Amino acid sequence: MENKTILQALGPDIWLADGPKIRFYKIPFQTRMTVIRLENGDLFLHSPIQFSKQLAAELEALGRVRHLVSPNWIHYAYIGEWAQAYPEAIAWASPNVRERARSQGMEINFDRDLQDSPAPEWAAELEQLIVRGSKVHTEVVFFHKRSKVLVLTDLIENMPSKTLPFWVRPLAWAAGILAPNGKMPIDIWFSFAGNRDKLRKALTRMLDWKPETVVLAHGDILRENAPQRLREGFRNLAPCGHGH
């Protein structure tokens, strides 16, 4: 019996791969990587999941593994494995991820830092933005122009209850992250208190990109009414120029 393919096509030149669950605060979280193939054949791996030979072979059939991207301070764990397998690849650091990795006893050699504007390597194909203003959580978001897919990591979580242990479901509901109405986790939302203006500007920019699909690292992807779901996901924060 042949192995089921790991990569699932999401749109033109964009794929998803779901990895094994990880435990965070004793709660099992799904892991998900988004793969984008750039026009020159280079692959952009957003939040790489655990390395496996099968996954590597599927990726090599698509292009060259070139960019290993940590989108925020807690999504970095497997970048070292991929960097070891592909020494030519560039490991991209999000804000605060180096300190976080070190504090967890992980030595990852990040080559370059993600900025507020897209790197020249993908500026023609991807928009990017650093969402700042939270006391704990800074995240780099990406928009793939060709597929109209917005790639978020932890800013919105949308966990189907069947994937969660029974005892976690009421906690997930209280945190606002249960599908189909998953939102920004309540702790992240509160961490933006006093800086909602920065969050509002970031949301406005994302809506201006006119995404048709929103990928999340944890839980069900937002496929229907993406702009509306994005606003709801940001707890109905009004975008700039849309009243309060």
The single-letter code of the amino acid at 65 is: V
**pLDDT (tens digit, 0 to 9) for every residue of the chain, 244 residues total?**
456 889 999 999 999 999 887 776 666 677 899 999 999 999 999 999 999 999 999 999 999 999 999 999 988 989 999 999 999 999 999 999 999 989 988 889 999 999 999 999 999 999 999 999 999 999 999 999 999 999 999 999 999 999 888 998 999 999 999 999 999 999 999 999 999 999 999 999 999 999 999 999 999 999 999 999 999 999 999 998 765 4
Angle of the 226-233 helix axis to the 196-208 helix axis, nearest 10 = 170
> Is 239 a member of any domain?
no
> Is 43 a member of any domain?
yes
Backbone φ and ψ of 135, nearest 5°: -75, -20
The single-letter code of the amino acid at 2 is: E
Instruction: Report yes or no: 172 and 186 within 8 Å, Cβ to Cβ.
Output: no
Q: Counting Cβ atoms within 10 Å, is residue 132 exposed (0-12), middle (13-18) or buried (19+)?
A: middle
Q: How far apart are CA 138 and CA 115, in angstroms?
A: 12
Q: How far apart are CA 105 and CA 201, in angstroms?
A: 35
> Is 240 a member of any domain?
no
> Is 243 a member of any domain?
no
> Is 242 a member of any domain?
no
Q: 157: domain CATH number?
A: 3.60.15.10
Q: How far apart are CA 85 and CA 156, in angstroms?
A: 31
* Residue whose structure tokens are 């790489």: 48
- Give, for 17, the enclosing helix (H) or strand (E): strand 14-24
Q: How many domains does the chain have?
A: 1
Q: Counting Cβ atoms within 10 Å, is residue 155 exposed (0-12), middle (13-18) or buried (19+)?
A: buried
Q: How far apart are CA 204 and CA 201, in angstroms?
A: 5
Q: Look up the domain containing 224 and give its range.
A: 7-233
Helix (H, G, I), strand (E, B) or coil at 128: strand
Tokens found for residue 58: 């599927």
